[in-house]
Amino acid sequence: MDEVATKIVEILRKNMKDPSKTITLETPLSDLEIESLDLAVIVFDIEDTFGIEIPYNANEEVEAFATVGSVVERVQSIIGENKASGAAA
């Protein structure tokens, strides 16, 4: 796991009932017993850690939040976009 993934797993563990569970990139978030409110807290924590904004609405099913790996990918792509727009400016 790269640095982004490691940090995200750390954030996930903080919000899990049982932080000792094994987490891989393939682990579905549903396996981590994360509920909607936890997810809002996690998204906030990720935004704060990486200085980004993640569009997320708890009322909608979002594919980006299916597995740990998909969250990491989404975050990496937002970081990438921010860098690109920063370079353009």
Q: Is 40 in the site for other proteins (CB under 8 A)?
A: yes
Q: Alpha helix (H) ranges present in the chain?
A: 3-14, 36-50, 68-88
Of the candidate residues 37, 77, 80, 84, the single one contacting other proteins (CB under 8 A): 37
Minimum distance of other proteins from residue 67's CB (angstroms): 19
Q: Is 35 in the site for other proteins (CB under 8 A)?
A: yes
Q: Is 25 in the site for other proteins (CB under 8 A)?
A: no
Burial class (CB in 10 A: 0-12, 13-18, 19+), 68: buried
How far is it, in rounded angstroms, from Cα 63 to Cα 61? Answer: 7
Chain residues binding other proteins by CB under 8 A are 35-37, 39-40, 43-44, 55-60
